[in-house]
Amino acid sequence: MSYGIPSAEPSAQVPVCPRHPDRPSYVRCQRCGRPACPDCQRAAAVGFQCVDCVNEAQRATPEVRTVYGGAVAAGKPRVTFGIIAVCAVLYVLQWLIPNDAIYQTLGFANIYAEPRYGQFEPWRMLTAAFLHSQGFILHIVLNMYMLWAFGQALEPLLGRVRFLALYLVSAIGGSVGYLLLTPLYEPGRPLYGVVGASGAIFGLFGAMLLVQRHRGGDTRQLWVLIAINGVIGFVIPQIAWQAHLGGLVAGGLCAAVLAYTPRGPRQGLIQAAGLAAVLALLALAAWLRVTL
């Protein structure tokens, strides 16, 4: 004689997870009240919420942005560390690959911008900023240190995308400055190429100067830093002060676009147009230099 309850009846009353119907779930979402299995539970201020409610709340919550329009990114400055990693990898490859092949492929010299003596390869104006001198290890060490120091300050303020755009345009600005302020290649005259992130770093100097000024901060230390590094470019041979100046101007222009664009729903679009205008101005200056 059996006094048990038929097995079919309790199984019909067991709550199951809507996303995983084969899993009994006795914990319910604090927001919608539906059962949620352990894989679908997300810790809330009180109890748990299901993953669907959490995703819905994230979509409904406005994205937090910095005063300069960039998305707030918590944690480490990933773009800064990414640029440092690329420079480090290429520096190692410069040592490992023979015949100076990395420089021959990615380096920039005025011969590459002069159609009469070499193929026009404008991408070198950017790629050269990721290479560094093999004969002077402090070249990459100091550049990466300054990138790390200024990147940690600027990347959270501007947002990752805007900071990356600032860095890349400043790098191009450094190469354009070198192109404008040095003679084009002529047969029989020694040719000096330019490599290094110094132009882009000076762009960060100029950007920080504009940002500090916009925020009402003290800029005296920045002026001293820029002056010292600028003088070094004239005192120590084989340092391309022209690239430093070009990067400083380009970075300052980019920062002016980012800092002084009015806030609003069209802020990002206006900033993108402004940065594109700076890039177009650099391209025009380079084109005029090599064609006139």
Q: Letter for the amino acid at 284?
A: L
Span 72-117, pLDDT tens digits: 777 789 999 999 999 999 999 999 998 888 988 898 876 665 555 4
Question: Environment class of residue 44 by beta-carbon count within 10 Å: exposed (0-12), middle (13-18) or buried (19+)?
Answer: middle
For the chain, give every domain's residue range: 8-60, 78-291
CA distance 266 to 170: 24
- Confidence (pLDDT) at 110: 66
Instruction: Please give the backbone phi and psi of residue 15, each rounded to the nearest 5 degrees, phi first.
Output: -70, 140
CA 232 from chain centre, in angstroms, equals: 27
CATH number of 78-291: 1.20.1540.10
pTM for the model: 0.77
What are the pLDDT digits (tens) for 31-74? 888 888 888 888 876 777 888 888 877 766 556 677 777 777 77
Which residue out of 25, 132, 198, 214 is catalytically annotated?
Answer: 198
Is residue 170 among the annotated active site residues? no
Average pLDDT over residues 208-215: 91
Q: Both tokens of residue 66? A: 């910095």
pLDDT at residue 3 greater than cutoff 60 = no
Q: Above pLDDT 90, what percent of the chain?
A: 46
Q: Among this protein's residues, is 244 annotated catalytic?
A: yes
Distance CA 7, CA 4 (A): 9
Per-residue model confidence as pLDDT tens digits over 184-201: 766 666 667 789 999 999
Q: Pick from 275, 274, 66: which is nearest to 157 by CA?
A: 66
Mean pLDDT score, 206-218: 91
How large is the C-alpha radius of gyration of the chain?
A: 28
Number of Cα atoms under 13 Å in the Cβ half of residue 177? 24
pLDDT digits (tens, 9 = 90+) for 218-269: 889 999 999 998 888 888 877 889 999 999 999 999 999 999 998 888 888 9
- Residue 182: closest CA among 130, 237, 127, 241: 241
pLDDT value at position 264?
A: 83
Amino acid at 17: C
